[in-house]
């Protein structure tokens, strides 16, 4: 009987400590944030509130180390980013190199801001879905305006790419 009471008290104390620790982590969540995915749990968004100087409120930012194509880049510390709401030509299609070169000129070797899609964080390939900013420029919108991309709206999404045209 005494042993049972001791075990119950220890379990209660452990539960209280665990809850207090969890609560403490949530209170500090404005400083860091991780988004996990079943497809790619290595993508973390730990660079929150570390954005380039701008009037935009980016959810994350980082150094663009590689441009995959006209609508996909790699951002150090975040992972592979898929430009939400747009679709550029694939390798071998007309316009592929022009779109890739345009994105490279704006993003490669620079710190970019990311507005992560709150409605759907990842695509089916595990890429982070985001509006990408170079300085104050919405690169997704600029791809559409300059004719390098077409609208590709896949709900759910917090963004309406038709409003960018």
- Confidence band (pLDDT; 50, 70, 90) for 65? very high
| 60-164 to CATH, choices 2.160.10.10, 3.40.50.720, 2.40.50.90, 2.60.40.10 | 2.40.50.90
Nearest to 47 by CA among 125, 130, 161: 130
Model confidence pLDDT, tens digit, residues 2-41? 666 666 665 556 555 444 444 333 333 333 333 333 333 3
Model confidence pLDDT, tens digit, residues 147-159? 999 999 999 999 9
Model confidence pLDDT, tens digit, residues 118-139? 999 999 999 999 999 999 999 9
Domain ranges of the chain: 1-30, 60-164
Please, are residues 74 and 153 in contact by the beta-carbon 8 Å criterion? Answer: no
Tokens of 102: 């345009």
Whether pTM exceeds 0.85: no
């Amino acid at each position: 009987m005494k042993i049972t009471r001791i075990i119950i008290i220890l379990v209660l104390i452990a539960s209280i400590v665990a809850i207090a620790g969890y609560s403490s982590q949530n209170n500090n969540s404005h400083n860091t944030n991780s988004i996990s995915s079943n497809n790619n749990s290595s993508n973390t968004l730990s660079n929150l509130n570390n954005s380039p100087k701008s009037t935009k409120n980016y959810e994350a930012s980082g150094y663009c180390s590689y441009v995959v194509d006209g609508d996909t880049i790699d951002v150090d510390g975040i992972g592979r980013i898929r430009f939400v709401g747009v679709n550029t030509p694939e390798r071998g299609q007309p316009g592929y190199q022009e779109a890739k070169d345009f994105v490279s000129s704006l993003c490669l070797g620079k710190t970019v801001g990311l507005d992560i899609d709150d409605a759907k964080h990842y695509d089916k390939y595990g890429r982070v879905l985001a509006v990408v900013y170079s300085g104050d420029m919405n690169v997704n919108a600029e791809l559409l305006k300059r004719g390098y991309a077409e609208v590709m709206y896949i709900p759910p999404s917090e963004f309406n790419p038709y409003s960018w045209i």
